[in-house]
Structure formats: structure tokens, C-alpha cells
Amino acid sequence: MFFKSVGMNVVADSFVQLSMMEIPGGMVIVVGDDPGANSSQNEQDNRHYARLSYTPMFEPKDAQEVYTMFKEATEHARSFRSAVVLRLTTHTAHFKQKVKFGEYHPQQLGKPIFAPSQLGPYVPIGENVPIMKWQAIKRLQTWSEISEKYAYVSSTGNRNGVITAGLPYLSLLDVLGENANKIDILRLGMVYPLPRQAIIDFLKSHEEVKVLEELDDFIEEKVKAVAYEESIRTKIIGKLDLEDWMGEYTPEKVRNVMAKVWPQLVLNVSSPLSENNRMRTIPRSPQLCPGCGHRPVFYTLSKILAKDDISVADIGCHTLGFLEPYKVGQVLLSMGHSVGTGTGLSIFNNDRKVVAFLGDSTFFHAGIPGIINAVYNNHNLTLVIMENGTTAMTGHQDHPGKKIKIRTVLESLGVKHIWEVDTYQIDKLEETLKEALATKEFNVVIARHPCMLKFTRERRHRGIVKVPQMKVTNRCTLANICITQFACPSFQKDKSGNVFVHEDLCIGDGSCSNVCPSGALEIEQFGGDQK
């Protein structure tokens, strides 16, 4: 099973029960945590889920170790008939490395066996819970012994040492450079349960120990507890300020963290990320793709919503409507929350319109319960379902919409007011949204247009690489609506301040053609073969 960091929240109800049960074939759960919140709404540390659920957790340092630890975790999980977590973080998941694969020896596995009478109980209620919990904790004791085998010590007898795991270990080696032999390191391959004896031995043999870890003080707390319980007087240095709790532990970050403790070890180490050598880049906010069908919706709503009206975002590409210049979507909690949050904000609210957004894949995944609540209580809310026919944000996976029509589901739930509109028809889109927002009952607008990123990729695969381009004619009056309000990245300005269309970005979709007040945008057609 594979999840990103916040995906663990979705499966938590079931996940926390797994350690109390016998899983005949075992289970390995790969979770990708996201220090720095590069593509998530928080930096949550899922090591806490391991401790909460009595589930062992491995943390590899690089791609090679991801491969070897996954294989070993699989064997352990099958042997113990239990769940095991393999935790990656952002850079580990994006790691590029030549991986040495072992020989493949396929095994003939028997049919899956579900035998409650032999392996159960599988119902954690009443009198079953104590024995199931006892079983989970007993198994965890065995995992503690295994974790000792995943404690890697590099020592040359220094007085100071570092306890770390995963990517921060590699970053530490980078920033130490030639000083690496001046400090001892205990690297943990399992972060839960921790190898108690290895920690005791390491602490006893050093005067000062720095715990270096991304995000929360998960390892630090346990190391300090072990030191207290064993009456070890080693000075343990954990997180020293708020910055230590945040972000990815890249070499630059680790340099700053370690410089607070032993500056003589790291300050003289040169780095490609140092201020003098760093490539000068201009920060750029994420943005909707050229031709994105969501853009006309946000462009239109940014014009017709009053300043005090409420808009509720959800998870997906359309989350970007929150950014400039649209500023649509003022609150975001989790996938599928928008309908429930929107209905709550509509209660006792007679003066402000409330509009919520939901992607089509999220509609099937997590949106229907909120819609049922909105229908049952007849909340005054406009829901815009952004239907692009795919799960675009995470790689264009399919979803049930190919077989199950959204309108059919809405009608079966009792939704009375439903509109459907192609978002490229901007005039009709604006008319539809105004009508929906004026309706005093729960209503839904299905704002539909295919994902154009997926469309253009499929077109290239068919050999079509040259497409019609938008062009700015001499009728342009520099009203700049295409840039400042519609905000398609294809529109840019030259040094003279004139608007032009960037040929490498424009996909010739024409969704912008109606937004220019002077009618200066036209599609430039190509003659002959477009390949």
C-alpha cells in the first residue's frame, strides 16, 4: 500500500487496528512524508502513527536502501503476519541513484487464507480488545530486538556523536566533509521501535550527543527517556529553536542546525548551496497550466463574487484558485471537506453567498457524504464540481466518472438544482454561476472541461507537435486583462511593455479569446501538416 503523508489520515481508522490482528500474508505500507510541505497542506510527521498503533517503521537513507529495506520489511511482515511501514521523505522519494538489484527468485505462493478461528479474533470490541492489544505489544518487543540489527555505528572514538536517520544522515556527511572523522554517528534504520541497547551504548561512550532529525522531536524524546532511565549523564542536544522543527534537512539546513552546536566542524566546509555559489533564481508561485479549464471558473467568480462572499477550497489543482489574481478559496482543511465546511459557514448567514469547490475525483472519493448532509438540511450553498475527467493533480489516474455520471449520482441523492457548463464558454459560465449563486437552496454547477495537460500530452504521443497559437493583434489597448485577471502564463510582456504570447507555453486552446475587452486575441492557424 502506498500513501503520501496526509493519506495516512484517511486510512487511520483502519490502520491503527492492524497491529492487533494476524495478517496472513503480511502488509508493507509505504508512506511519503513531506518536510517542507512541497505538495501537502502540512508537514505532519507520520512516525507518530507508528507509535500510536504499535507498528514498526523503517526509514531508508537513499534509493538503494529503499529497495533492500522494502524486501526485508516484506519478509518480516510475512513472517510476523503483521503490518510494517516503510517511511520515505521528500528527497528520499525523489532520490536518483543506480540501484543494485538482487536476483529474482519467484515463489509459488498459496491461496490467501482467511481463517478467523485460527488467526483471529478480527473484531476489536469488548472482551477481544485486551488480548489483541497484548498480542500487539508482545510482537513489538520482538521488533525491538530486530531494530538493533538496523542500528549502524561509525566510530573513531570521538567524544561527541550524532544520532540520526534517513536523509539527514546523508546531509550530515555532506556538511562535515573532511571533518567526518571528527564525530561519531549512530544511524537508525528503524525509527520505531528504536534500538534501545544501541542507544544506551552510544550514549555511554560519548560526552555530548546531538539528535539530528527532520520535523518533530520523535527520536530525541526517546533518547532522553532512555538516558534518564539508565542514569546516563551524557549531554543530549536536541532541537534548539523553532527553525529546527521545520523544513527538509537538506545540506544547507543541516549546516545551520549543526553550526549552533559545533560550529568548528561545519563552518569551513564549502557547499554548492552556499550563498556565493547558489544559482540565482526568481521565486515563482505554482500556477494553473495553460488552457486549464479551472481558470475560467476562477476568473469569472473573481468578477462576480462580492468582497465579503465566502469561497471554500478543496484538494486538487483547483486549490490554486486561492492565489493571485483570483483569490478564490479562503479556507482549506482536507480532501472532501469543502461541502461540509461550506454548509457550516452558510448557517445563520443570510447576507453573504457561499460557494465551495470539489474536483470530480474527490467527489467520488470523499465528497458524497457532505453532499448528502447538504441535501438533507437544504443548506444555502453553491457547490462547483470541477470536472476534468481525470485525477490530474497526482498523475492523471482514472476515477469512477468514466462509468458513473456525476449528474446521475447527484439526482439520486436528491439535488434539485443542477447546471452543467463547459468552462471555455465563458459567457454561459458567468450566466450559470450567477443563476446558481442567486438560488437560495443547495445547488450544484458541474463546470466541465478536459484536463488540457493530459490532452496535449496525448496529442504529442500521436505525433502532433505543432498546434494553432493565440496571437495578440494591433487592436490591443494594453488593458492587460489577459495577464492581470485571466492570468494565463502564456501571456507575457516584452521590454517595451507590449503583450505577446509565448509560443512555448501556448497550446492554442482559445479559452482566453473572450476575455480581451478590445477583441485583440485571435487564433493563428497553421496550413498543411501540423506534425
Percentage above 90 pLDDT, the chain: 75
Let me know whether 336 and 443 are in one domain: yes
What SS3 state is found at 335? coil
Instruction: End-to-end CA distance of the chain: give it in Å, rounded.
Output: 41
Residue 449 reports pLDDT greater than 80: yes
What SS3 state is found at 484? helix
Which grid cell is 449? 472541461
Instruction: Give residue 530's pLDDT.
Output: 40
For the residues 369-376, what does the mean pLDDT come to?
96
Task: Give dist(CA 335, CA 367) in Å, integer.
Answer: 8
pLDDT digits (tens, 9 = 90+) for 250-292: 999 999 999 999 999 986 544 444 444 445 556 667 889 999 9
Let me know whether 335 and 435 are in one domain: yes
Let me know whether 195 and 319 are in one domain: no
Structural domain ending residue among the three candidates 132, 147, 162: 147
Average pLDDT along the chain: 91
Let me know whether 309 and 399 are in one domain: yes
pLDDT digits (tens, 9 = 90+) for 419-440: 999 999 999 999 999 999 999 9
Q: Are 436 and 419 in contact (CB under 8 A)?
A: yes
Find the range with the poorest average confidence among 2-11, 43-52, 160-169, 170-179: 2-11
Q: In which band, very low, low, confident or very high, does the pLDDT at 362 lie, cut at 50, 70 and 90?
A: very high
Phi and psi angles of residue 398, each rounded to the nearest 5 degrees, phi first: -70, 160
Q: In the block, which residue shows the cell 465546511?
A: 341
Instruction: Give residue 281's pLDDT.
Output: 55
Instruction: Give residue 39's pLDDT.
Output: 81
Let me know whether 54 and 191 are in one domain: no
Let me know whether 407 and 514 are in one domain: no
HEC string of 270-304?
CCCCCCCCCCCCCCCCCCCCCCCCHHHHHHHHHHH
Instruction: Give residue 322's pLDDT.
Output: 93
Q: In which band, very low, low, confident or very high, does the pLDDT at 467 lie, cut at 50, 70 and 90?
A: confident
Let me know whether 449 and 309 are in one domain: yes
Which residues lie below 8 Å from residue 423, measured CB to CB, with a gap of 6+? 293, 294, 295, 296, 297, 429, 447, 448, 449, 511
For the residues 304-333, what does the mean pLDDT come to?
94
pLDDT digits (tens, 9 = 90+) for 381-431: 999 999 999 988 888 898 999 999 999 999 999 999 999 999 999 999 999
Q: In which band, very low, low, confident or very high, does the pLDDT at 528 lie, cut at 50, 70 and 90?
A: very low
CATH code: domain of residue 195: 3.40.50.920
User: Within a domain: residue 363?
Assistant: yes
Number of domains comprising the chain: 4
Q: Are 299 and 485 in contact (CB under 8 A)?
A: yes
Domain span at residue 52? 2-147
Percentage above 70 pLDDT, the chain: 95
pLDDT digits (tens, 9 = 90+) for 162-185: 999 999 999 999 999 989 999 999
For the residues 136-143, what does the mean pLDDT come to?
94
Let me know whether 28 and 72 are in one domain: yes
Let me know whether 262 and 323 are in one domain: no
Let me know whether 335 and 420 are in one domain: yes
Instruction: Give residue 116's pLDDT.
Output: 80
Residue 527 reports pLDDT greater than 50: no
Task: Give dist(CA 162, CA 353) in Å, integer.
Answer: 56
Task: Give dist(CA 209, CA 177) in Å, integer.
Answer: 19
Which grid cell is 486? 485571466
Phi and psi angles of residue 195, each rounded to the nearest 5 degrees, phi first: -75, 95
Residue 248 reports pLDDT greater than 70: yes
